[in-house]
Amino acid sequence: MEEPGRPKRDSADDLLRRALVDQEATVSVALKVRNLPLSEAVTVIFHGRRDLGTVQTYVTPGHHGTGSALGADSLLRVPCDIDLAEADDRADAERLYAEQAAALRDALVGADTVLDIWRDPLQELVRAHVKVDHSVHLNVRLPAHRLMPTALVAPDKGIIVAAVCSARALAEGRPPMGIACAQQDVARVYPLPDDPERCLEDFLELAAEHARRMAEQLGRQEASVQRFLELSGDDFPQTG
């Protein structure tokens, strides 16, 4: 007898896309965070689905309310989820939800404020225009999870600065946060309250040292290939 075919496992994006359509199995609650100095406004979506067993968190730029149609590609998955397992009844669940949602809101406000403080020092150090990017996807890999779809980008230098966080249930309070600086394959996370000028100078030194090491490595590789190509003629030792 042949083993019955196993159903294809859905990706996170597939599950979310299906969940936004299948309203009977899901509940979504939107939390609007306004008057942010850099992002202006973001919407947090707490999305609960029975078969996932969690209340997952997504953040998207702008104002979105009841009836808004959002695709999976416009939502940033933030691994700071609601946990109401300790609630004794509905009233207790409402209290826990309010506390945890407020913790995430405070984290977003704090991170956005710090990013806004970083904008001028970054612009002065790179001596070029710095733009604010609200894309959900960035073209560099960060060493931690993004907290919000807002980043500072210095296109001429290829530097990206974004707020990041650790994966943590909101029942434990505000998640640990930091500011990540990235350039190609170089990245470092700095504490949120640290001095931005010191952090940026440190990162630029790190990036410069990485560039020097890469140049030395490429030089050695080129020299090695050149010497290998010079190994020709009748006296070249044969193998095999």
- Name the phi and psi angles at 99, rounded to 5: -65, -45
| pLDDT at 84 exceeding the cut of 60 | yes
Rounded to whole angstroms, the Cα distance separating 49 from 188 reads: 35
30 confidence band (pLDDT: 50, 70, 90):
confident
**Residue among 157, 156, 155, 203 nearest 178 (CA):** 203
pTM score, whole prediction? 0.76
Question: 171: which 2 tokens?
Answer: 């029942």
Tell me the per-residue pLDDT of 171-196, one tens digit each, with 9 for 90 and over: 999 999 999 999 988 999 999 989 99
Tell me the per-residue pLDDT of 123-176, one tens digit each, with 9 for 90 and over: 999 888 899 999 999 888 899 999 999 999 999 888 999 999 999 999 999 999
Count of other CB atoms within 10 angstroms of residue 127 = 9
C-alpha distances out from residue 66 to 29, 31, 215, Å: 9, 11, 54
Residue in the block written with tokens 């970054």: 122
Rounded to whole angstroms, the Cα distance separating 171 from 192 reads: 21
1 confidence band (pLDDT: 50, 70, 90):
very low
68 confidence band (pLDDT: 50, 70, 90):
low
